[in-house]
Structure 1
Amino acid sequence: MAVETFVPAASVITVTPSAARHFEQKLGDSQQIIRFATRESGCTGYAYVVDFAEAPEAGDEVIRVSDKLTVAVARNAIPMLRDTEIDYVKEGINGVLKFNNPNIAEACGCGESFSVKS
């Protein structure tokens, strides 16, 4: 007899505890969500877009990170962001979001834009 294992679908992105705390602080007590998208930009093709939103848009992938944090990934950005880890790190006195994206084929020198593997 074979044993079948249920494996739930993985989220498109993951948010580290540090990034979750950062977003929760930014949202405060609002009922907004964080929405991730991409847009054409820069010398290599695309840039990340991080926005506050009242609700996800049709087709967005919605991820409940914690009781205080829900994020959405724009439908057209899912292929570019799949398996991306979003982190928040301190660099000196500054805090920055880091997108650890395994889909990147090339990034510009200033870090503003990226292209993805075909």
Structure 2
Amino acid sequence: MAITLTEAAAKHVTAMLARYGNSIGLRIGTKKSGCNGFAYVVDYAEQITDTDCVFESHGIQIVIDNAQLTYLDGVEIDFVRSSLLNEGFEFRNPQAKERCGCGESFSI
């Protein structure tokens, strides 16, 4: 499978990367957090290591540590705005069995 961005997410990431300047793409991962176990982590990718897997979506490199593929394979990342003050990435993860009520964490 792969990690993909929607057109809206790609547009937002392109703007983020242009402002940051030192990045080669987007690094996606997970961390233990919340009431369901895992939360998504989004950061700038400044380098690719031997333990990374790289996907490309809409011309943007998405970098993931190989150990994270279990949790992230098949994820589609969207960027949504529900109001002027409420916007962010939304993850559609076919691996997720449950999500907490606030959407902060998920379990596999």
Secondary structure of 2:48 counterpart? coil
Report deviation, 1:99: 0.3
1:73 matched to 2:68? no
Aligned-partner Cα distance in 1 for 2:50–2:40: 19
Contact 1:35–1:56 (8 Å) recurs in 2: no
Can you give the 5+ residue segments of structure 2 that lack an aligned partner in the other structure? none
| RMSD of aligned Cα (Å) | 1.6
Aligned-partner Cα distance in 2 for 1:95–1:109: 18
| Misfit runs of 4+, over 4 Å | none
Can you give the 5+ residue segments of structure 1 that lack an aligned partner in the other structure? 1-9
Secondary structure of 1:64 counterpart? strand
The equivalent of 1:103 in structure 2 is 95
Aligned-partner Cα distance in 2 for 1:58–1:112: 30
Q: Structure 1, residues 60-82: CA drift from partner, whole Å, max 9, x if none?
A: 11123344x22101212111111
The structure whose Rg is larger is: 1
Q: TM-score, normalised by structure 2?
A: 0.86
Q: Which letter maps to 2:69?
A: I
